[in-house]
Chain A
């Protein structure tokens, strides 16, 4: 299967610890997105890369959050000094540039973060 892969699937950690998630997009996709989804809600946009360039960051992305895509392939999302409110599902998606912005995004199965 060559879909979007996210690791780990689950992460449980104590408040104040740092965590890092990884996303491997579909290989030919040059756009990569991170979303956060809490229970009963739709995904909320966090940030977006085109190749290695981070082109947009949501106001939701506090200074404790950082995302990288150093070689334009996989991406990492790091949360420093985790808080209870960070507990959520973190979703990664990728898409091709296509024509304009009409290409659908393909999602991974997410990383569920639980803060104790």
Chain B
């Protein structure tokens, strides 16, 4: 069965500092990995995805993520955080040989950027 874990409920970072939001996954077969962001009372917005190719994926709003197959991780990163980055971030995985289109989401990490 596929699963995804976000080990940190909350990450606090000062504005201008680099940020990392952690994600590990478990799937059979090749994973499709996604990051989404959610603002209060809104749906999820797509940030970036890893399908194949370069392990470093660049996405929206200056975010990037690094796929590490040996560590089964897909951590979200940004070199310089903005206060407006404060939101709830979800890692998601799709993979395996059954249920080809179902995405499994992590429990989310709340990112708080202090001025």
A101 contacts B44, C-beta separation under 8 Å: no
A106 to B45: give the CA distance in the assembly, Å: 7
Taking the complex as formed, is B49 at the interface, i.e. its CB lies under 8 A from any CB of chain A?
yes
Contacts of A108 in B (CB 8 A): 43
CB of A27 to closest CB in B, whole Å: 17
Tell me whether A43 and B102 are in contact in the complex, defined as CB-CB below 8 angstroms, given that A101-B94, A104-B34 are known contacts. no
CB of A43 to closest CB in B, whole Å: 5
A91 contacts B43, C-beta separation under 8 Å: yes
B46 contacts A104, C-beta separation under 8 Å: yes
B44 contacts A48, C-beta separation under 8 Å: no
CB of A46 to closest CB in B, whole Å: 10
How many chain-B residues does the 8 Å CB contact rule pick out?
24
B43 contacts A41, C-beta separation under 8 Å: no
Contacts of B92 in A (CB 8 A): 42
User: Which of B41, B44, B49, B101 is close to A43, meaning CB atoms less than 8 Å apart?
Assistant: B44
Interface 1/0s, chain B 67-82, versus A by CB < 8 A? 0000000000000000
User: Which of A33, A93, A102 is close to B32, meaning CB atoms less than 8 Å apart?
Assistant: A102
A45 contacts B103, C-beta separation under 8 Å: yes
User: Which of B45, B101, B108 is close to A56, meaning CB atoms less than 8 Å apart?
Assistant: B101
CB of A48 to closest CB in B, whole Å: 6
A33 to B94: give the CA distance in the assembly, Å: 14
Contacts of A104 in B (CB 8 A): 34, 46, 49
Taking the complex as formed, is A85 at the interface, i.e. its CB lies under 8 A from any CB of chain B?
no
Taking the complex as formed, is B84 at the interface, i.e. its CB lies under 8 A from any CB of chain A?
no
Interface 1/0s, chain A 24-52, versus B by CB < 8 A? 00000001010000001111110010100
- Chain B residues with a Cβ under 8 A of chain A: 32, 34, 36, 41-46, 49, 51, 90, 92, 94, 99-108
- Chain A residues with a Cβ under 8 A of chain B: 4, 6, 31, 33, 40-45, 48, 50, 55-56, 91, 93, 101-102, 104-110, 112
